[in-house]
Amino acid sequence: MKSIGIDIKPAIGEWKIGDGDNFISFALTEKPNLFRRTMANLFFGLRWIDFKSPIDVKDIKPSKGVKAKVTKVIPKGRR
């Protein structure tokens, strides 16, 4: 059997929401047009950031994330 390789293009920019270490971002291989970038910024607060040169997906720095935890305690013996 032949293995099927997936050819992944490098990312040229990313949508980003949030600042500092806590943010959400997703990289794209194609730049959205000016209208879409403007509307995403107005409606969702997303910023488009161009990379200086194309970056491989594995080299993109992830956020540290928001550390929120919800714990629900259920007493034993109660239904």
What does the domain layout of the chain look like in residue ranges? Answer: 11-59
Q: Is it the case that residue 6 has pLDDT exceeding 70? A: no
CA triple 39-11-13, angle to 5 deg: 35
Mean pLDDT lowest for which of 1-5, 10-14, 33-37, 53-57? Answer: 1-5
pLDDT in tens, 16-68: 888 777 788 888 889 999 999 999 999 999 999 999 988 887 777 766 665 55
